[in-house]
Structures are given as C-alpha cells and as structure tokens.
Amino acid sequence: MRFVIIGAGAVGGVVAGRLAGAGAAVALVARGAHLEAIRRDGLLLREAGGDSRHHLPAFATPAEVDWRAGDVAVLAVKSNSTESLLTRLPRDTPVVCLQNGVANERAALRLFPDVYGVCVMLPSAHLEPGVVVAQCAPIPGILDIGRIPGGVDPRAEAIAAHLVEAGFVCEARPDIMRRKYTKLLMNLGNAVEALCGRSEAADELAALLRAEGEAVLRAAGIEYASAAEDRERRGDLLQLVPVAGQERGGGSTWQSLARATGEVEADYLNGEIVLLGRLHDTPAPANETARRLVIEAATRGAAPGSMPPAQLRAAIDGSAGR
C-alpha cells in the first residue's frame, strides 16, 4: 500500500511525515512554493521531540503521479478543492477523505466505489513552505476511519494499522460519519477564531454557532456523537505543546488568513449548516453571517483576529433580526 497524499499542508504533511517515518510508502501532491521547497529540501516535520526531514516523491498535480496498483489517494485539501481534484484521479483508486466537513465523502462516492472518511483530530500547522508542525505530544492526533456510507472492511483496518504504527490513535469505526458531524459542530467556531482570535467573548460566539448547528442537525434528523462521547474519545490524549518555542496560533481557517491564501473552506463548514437549515426550514443566521464575513476577510487579505468580537456579535444580531 502506498499513500498518495494530495495536499501536504498542516494535516496532510504531518500524516505524510509520520507515515514515512514509520516506513510506509508515501508520495505527495503539493503546489507553489511548498512544492518547490519539498522537492529541493524534503518535507520538514517539526515536533516537540525534534525535527525530521523526509525526501518523498512530490508532484504538482494528480495527473503527474505514477499511479500504481495498491495506491490509496488521501485527500487532505480544503473541501472547496475536492470536486475538481476528484476528476483527476484514476477511477479504480480507493479514496480516503482526511478532511474536515461532511461533503467530501459524498462527492467522492459519486465517482469512486471505495471511499473512506477520517474524523480528523490533529492540531497542526503549516505557515511556511516546506515545513509542517505537529502541535500535540506524545500523541500527534486521533484519526478514526470508516468506510462510506458505513461499515469497516479490510482496507480500512489496514489503513488504521498503518496510522497506529505511525504513532496516531486510530480505530476503524462503522459509524464514522456520525463522528464527523460532531467534528463539524466543533469546526463551526473556526470562523470566529479566524475573525476574532481567542477570548471569552469569542468563545461565547463559537458556542452560539454550535448551538445553532445542533438545532439544524436535529431538524435534519442527522445523528452525531454527543459531547460526552466526544470527551470520552479524546480523553487527555491531545496535549498541546510548544514546538521550537512557538505556541499554537490557531486552527486551519486562522492559518488560511495568516498565510493570506485568499480563500477559506467556510462554505463547507458553516455553509453546511446553512444548507441543511434551508433544506429543513431551520434558519441559521449566525452561521451564515460568520461564513460570509470570514470569506470576505480572506478575499481582502485581512489578518487573523482583526475583527472585534463585538462587531461580529452585532452583525449576527442584525442578521437574526432581518
């Protein structure tokens, strides 16, 4: 089995480095300055226990990959890039969605018979070309996997075994989408963190978005793991630690603003709740407002944390009153 990891950013890069360090066959698809740095110097994985450098085959597009029997395509891109990438993969390739959100698996299943979802709990960072940072120790993350639309098969078990060998906590679970909807609820706060940074007022806004998201999922009849189940699964496994003297700045959306990428995946996080709310007559004005504002911030190149929480609260209150 060779893992072709498409998107060697924070999550994909850390998983790639860990798998390669454990002896797994790994290839990467990356772009721009990040790809150039990987080809020139290798992928640098920074962890609390020290750095490691991995010289791996790296390609600019899936079409350039030397696809072979036994390859598994691991999507680790933002959800807004998924559909365009799927059309460039060999149609007999198993696809693993190592991604936040819940739309990727359905998009993949439209085109591929063998699709797997991963519930990603992996605090990590990618802020400079060629470098990814694992921000938890001694366990870098929890990466439970399951077959889509449900169940477990030998391939899911084999992938889980590779991830465990690489140091991750991972179980093959038949109800993986139920877990991923719980992670979606957590990720609704990404927009708040990116816009407002961290504070008690920002936490209150994130809780508002989550409560609205839970109401929408209930209206849609979609099951998700309870907060108690989620706490039990996490336990004290994920311990944030400084790496090379640097504390964690923020999550994936915060990092998109910090890198000034010009785009975020809010359409597939907060936007998923907005979509379900429209389909099931349950308005989601708080998530719609956060979605719109963080996309506007990314488009104009705003720095993370540049919006006061009171400004976001006023915008949410105004949208709810319309």
The CATH code of the domain that includes 48 is 3.40.50.720
- Structure confidence at residue 245 (pLDDT): 82
Counting the structural domains of the chain, the total is: 2
Of 147, 174, 201, the position where a domain reaches its end is 174
Distance CA 207, CA 157 (A): 35
Of 157, 174, 191, the position where a domain reaches its end is 174
- In a shared domain, residues 103 and 119: yes
Of 113, 146, 174, the position where a domain reaches its end is 174
Give this prediction's pTM.
Answer: 0.95
Going from the first residue of the chain to its last (322 residues), give the mean pLDDT of each consecutive group of 10, the final group possibly shorter.
97 98 98 97 96 97 96 97 95 97 97 97 95 95 97 98 98 96 97 97 97 98 93 90 88 95 96 98 97 97 97 91 60
Q: What's the residue count for the chain?
A: 322
145 is written with which tokens? 């996997």
Q: Which single residue is written with the structure tokens 């226990």? A: 49
Structural domain that includes position 246: 180-321
**DSSP secondary structure of 108-131:** HHHH-S-EEEEEEE--EEEEETTE
In sequence order, the 6+-apart residues with CB closer than 8 A to the CB of 74 are 3, 4, 5, 6, 12, 15, 96, 98
- In a shared domain, residues 204 and 144: no
Distance CA 178, CA 300 (A): 35
First to last CA, the chain: 54
- Structure confidence at residue 322 (pLDDT): 59
- Structure confidence at residue 244 (pLDDT): 81
- In a shared domain, residues 9 and 101: yes
- In a shared domain, residues 257 and 164: no
- Structure confidence at residue 235 (pLDDT): 87
Which residues pair with residue 143 across a beta bridge?
Answer: 120
CB 191 within 8 A of CB 266: yes
